[in-house]
Structures are given as C-alpha cells and as structure tokens.
Amino acid sequence: MTVLLPQHQVSNPLTEDIMKEGLSLLCKTGNGLAHAFVKLELKEKELTDITLIQNFIHLRYVDLSENLIRDLSPLSSLTHLLWLKVDGNRLTSASMEELPYLQNASFANNHIKDTSGINHPRLASLNLKDTCAECVDVYGQSCEADMLGKAQNSIFYLEGLEGLGQLTTLHLRDNQLETLDGFSESMKSLQYLNIRGNGIKEIQELSKLQVLPMLRALVLLDNPCSDEGDYRIEVLVLLPRLERLDKDFFEEEERIEAEDIRQRRKEEELELEREREREKELEVSHIEEYSKRQQYSNCKGPIWDQVTLMFVIPSLINSGSVVLA
C-alpha cells in the first residue's frame, strides 16, 4: 500500500474573473426593479475557497461539482437558492444554515459521514450517493492507494432528518448504513428511497421505515438482507404500502401471499400474548396459595387440624401438590 506524505494544498479561491465565466440566466430580482444573474456553473475549476459567492445573493441555481471545496458556509447567504449541486468535492459535512427555498441538493461523491445539519424546510430531493468516491489519507490529501479506508469516509448513521417534511426523494446508495434509525414520521412526503449497496443485514430493520406513510419505491439491492429467501415477500409483509422494490413492481399474487403471512403472524402474536397472560395469572395464584400456607403453618392445636382439613389439604390437592393414593 502506498502512503502519501502530507502536502500543502495550493489555494485556489473563487475570483471575480472566474465568477463571470460561470454566471448566466439574467432575471428580475424580487422587487422587480432590477436584474441579476441567478445561475452559476463552475465545474472542474479546482476551487478551494468560494467565499466570494456570498456577495451574489440572488443566485438560485448553483453547480460547483468536481472542485476541491471543503467549506460550504458561504452558501448560507444565498437565501433564494433553489437548486444546489456540489458533487465530487472534499466535503466532510453537508451542514449549512437553513436555506428556506432550497428544493434539490446533491452532495454525491464526497466524504460525508452523517446527515446532520441538513435542515432545509422545502427540500424535496437529496442525493448523498457514494460519499467515498476516492480515498483520503490521515492528512486529508487525495490518496491513490486501492480503496484505502472506504468505511472511514462513508455515512454510518442518519440523524437530523426530522425537519425534511417536504423531501420526496432520498439517495443513500453505496454508504455504510447497517441500521435504519433516523427516519421520522414527520417525513410525510418521502416516496422514493435508495439504500442500495449498504450493510443492512436483517430484513426486520425495514420495520423502521413504517413511519414513512408515503413511501412507495425502495431500492435495497446489494445489501446482505437482499440475499435472503423470500426477500421480496418479507419486505412486503413489513411495508404493505410499497409499490416497487428495486426494479420491479409487486404482483397481485405477491400481495396476497404477504397479507396471508401478515395475518398469520398477527394471530400467532395474539396467542402468544394470551399465553403470557395465563402464565402470569397462574403465577399470581401460586403466590397467593403459598401465602395462605404460610399463615396456616403458624397455627397450633386442634384448630390447626380443622383448618388443615377444611382448607389447606383441598387446595394442595387441586394444585397437584398432593396426590391421594
């Protein structure tokens, strides 16, 4: 394995000349009294610093893909932003100040480890696919060794998604998710979820997606659980509102089979619950009986003999503690 020595990354900040190259789409500003460019496309410019962009507050569409950007904080001043693409940069976090109108955001092919700080109220499409496009050594420099430490640069868990009530599409393909904690019932608009190529081992983990009332399409291929027998049926048992799994829609026969299994398991659970209740009642009965015996054992003389004959012996016989010859 090749180990790279730390190198000083050459700074290449965004300048006015570079900015002019990427600006387009002249539109009226909010008050209708002036015009401003609202689209910026600066792909493959090797940019390391985008501080200048904060002065262009009227931007609505921004594509900064395939650069060397590590800090997105200058974008926080773009309160009119609707569409953002920053694929293939050096980001370790997608966290930004809340952008009130942002609807589409793509952070694919970065080094993002979690979903914290993505709190944009109108966000409808979020792409976090393959957040380990290339390797990174301990100094953060690009590494040419074969997939060094992929697991160190992928999303392991989800958090902060509860504010994304308008999100309809979520791409989390090729990460390191092993659990599906983090989804919230407040995500009432999510219809499409792609978690292909993660580490979900148990089908039962999908029960955590039951909080998503509008989920209709799920991509789960290349997870360990997708190798299980009756994979499609078991998914449909847990998520009956699902219409499509991976590339195929569910057939009516599959729905009927899944419903039969679901009903049978419900009945088995009810019977198990009733059995537990019976065992609990029997345990209480035994405790009460034992308490009576302890009280009677303290009695003396003829009275004790009468009590024993009248109460204790019949009780023991009924419980099976005493067998008459």
Q: How far is CA 45 from CA 13, 21, 228, 272, in A?
A: 10, 11, 46, 64
- Are 36 and 161 in the same domain? no
- Are 100 and 223 in the same domain? yes
Mean pLDDT of the chain: 83
Contact 115, 158 (CB under 8 A): yes
3-state SS assignment for residue 211: helix
**Residue 258 covered by a domain:** no
Mean pLDDT for the stretch of residues 218-227:
95
- Are 160 and 35 in the same domain? no
- Are 176 and 291 in the same domain? no
Per-residue confidence (pLDDT) for residue 32, from 0 to 100: 77
- Are 158 and 293 in the same domain? no
Measured CA to CA, the distance from residue 207 to residue 223 in angstroms comes to: 16
**Residue 272 covered by a domain:** yes
- Are 122 and 271 in the same domain? no
User: Which residue segment(s) compose the domain that 76 sits in?
Assistant: 13-61+70-81
Per-residue confidence (pLDDT) for residue 206, from 0 to 100: 96
One-letter identity of residue 228 = E
- Are 217 and 133 in the same domain? yes
Q: How far is CA 145 from CA 136, 153, 277, in A?
A: 9, 14, 60
- Are 142 and 94 in the same domain? yes
In the predicted structure, residue 46 carries a pLDDT above the cut 50: yes
- Are 100 and 226 in the same domain? yes
Query: Which of 9-18, 72-81, 283-292, 308-317 is the most confident on average?
Result: 72-81
One-letter identity of residue 286 = H
In the predicted structure, residue 163 carries a pLDDT above the cut 80: yes
- Closest of 268, 200, 265 to residue 231, by C-alpha: 200
Number of domains in the chain: 3
133: domain CATH number is 3.80.10.10
- Are 107 and 228 in the same domain? yes
- Are 288 and 190 in the same domain? no
Q: Over the stretch 249-306, which tens digit does the pLDDT of each residue have?
A: 999 999 999 999 999 999 998 988 888 888 888 878 777 777 777 776 665 545 445 4
Sorting pLDDT into bands at 50, 70 and 90, what band is 150?
A: very low
